[in-house]
Structure 1
Amino acid sequence: MLDVRRLHLLKTVAARGSIAAAAQSLALSAGAVSQQLSALRRDVGVDLLRPEGRTVALTEAGRVLLGHAERILAAVEEAETAVAAVRGTVGATATLAALPSTVARIVAPALEDLGARHPRLTVTCLVTDQAQLRELTLGAVDVVLGQRYHHLPAATPRGVEVTPLLDDPLLVVTAGADPRPVNLRELATHDLVLPPPATDCGQAVLHACQQVGFTPTARYLTADIAAQLTLARAGLGTALVPRTAIDPATPGIGTAPIEDHPILRLIFAATRRTGTANPTTTAVIEALRAAAGSGRTGGLPSA
């Protein structure tokens, strides 16, 4: 009989591209992963992986087995979820992946709420802006707090359930008192503090500005929101920062909405799709939803 844990290793190696990368993501040694994959190869009697430079690739048999492995692993999770739903209690552990810009206004309040409501639940939080949904599909995390800018088409991986939480506008950030609402075209004459164009936020800003007739030129280029706010506070430039990433008590800055062409990101919670709701991930999502709702500050601009 095939070992489910070995099937999970095969899936992880296929996604990560190498045994070393898979081992690192699973906190295992490369030797341990190789040993288990060798055992899986003996179980099926055919090679599943072949070397490809510094990486590995699936053989034809490996691709066939991976397709079955994904269905088997999904069925195992479905069974675990169904039993947890019958038990009706929140579990002991969960892993959350969240964007850095959501930590202060959403993640921290949500974790405080979970600690009060479910003191036996330990939530491990991975703060990253890299490939959260892939980590979800691989089973490395249980819940993702992610983002999607509204100008981009929705692209949800197979087997992932997305719960929208909040439309979060980018605000114009400058030094001093709160300025008046601005039209996006006005920023063509500003010294801008922008995220790199390769980032989701940078792409959203570039797309929005081009829609109103200009290509923004960054005087300062950084994805670090703390650095963006520092440069704006010093009067060195005008930043565009998501509202939830700004502490409203921060001294020395003014924020203003973009009046005519708001740039919005959807903040969402994502889990693996199962036929039965998991009490643990449901509790985490409900806490994130409550924190996102309480973090609203005034009305949202219309899209």
Structure 2
Amino acid sequence: MAERNEWFFPRGSLSERWWESAVDASIDGWKHTGLRVAELAGNTVQLPAGDIERIVVPLAGSFTVSHEGRSTRLTGRSSVFDGPTDVLYVGRGQEIAVTGFGRVAVAEAPTRVDKPSAYVAREDVPVELRGAGQDTRQVHNFGTPAVLDAASLIVCEVITPAGNWSSHPAHKHDEEVPGHESQLEEIYYFEAAAARSVSAPPTADAFGSFATYRSAAGDIETNALVRTGDIALVPFGYHGPAVAPPEYDLYYLNVMAGPGEERVWLVSDDPRQAWLRDTWADQETDQRLPYRQDTPTTQGATP
């Protein structure tokens, strides 16, 4: 039996030097993805060159990234609940240095494939409203195959407004089934905040919940309250739902990569839960969404 919550890491439990959290292959059983999160106050964090590709994602604040002999300014945003941000993809073999004020995340994946670095402007990030009714969530697809030409990384972020469910139905991507499912590790980095319609006191403890459970690929059990800065890793198994209480909004950044040659995100629903997708056709999307953004929205039915 799996040890309950063995793949769940509260804020700060993965700290390393100037990084509040650092996910990499030093974690036993983890191979294909990485994530680093830092809080900057005008200082600089550096990452060395190597066989690794990266996406720099402003969570809150603005940053300058030095790379390949030049600098790229990321305008960022005031919080993760204020719609999409601009991001920077940096291909393998490049040292980077990030300077600025606020919280920044760097998604990583090892690779031997060269891809050109690319800036994705805020207005070019596709904003998708996925699901319907209380399963409606807002997805920013800045690092998905249709938007970004990366080697292995697949990265997006999700806003689940108060009272709604996401990563629902529970699904998995832990075996290679051509045309049906891809084998991908996944990182969930969470933030939570009082809902826009709620006047919460300063002492409010914003949270959501997240679950994983076993599949044929392995035994896993996560059943955790998640708060800002917490991280859940999904090496295999069904994962979801992620649930926002009625008083709090929930955000997560997803980082995925795997051993397959094709960079594709294909999932298999838990067959006991797949039926709920059919209910979305008779429901409207949540009218609270999208949260502050200026780009066209699309409808979707993937996780």
Which TM-score tier does this pair reach, normalised by the shorter chain? under 0.3
Structure having the higher helix fraction is 1
User: TM-score, normalized by length of structure 1?
Assistant: 0.24
The TM-score with structure 2 as length reference comes to 0.24
* Structure whose alpha-carbon radius of gyration is higher: 1
Task: Please identify which structure carries the higher strand content.
Answer: 2
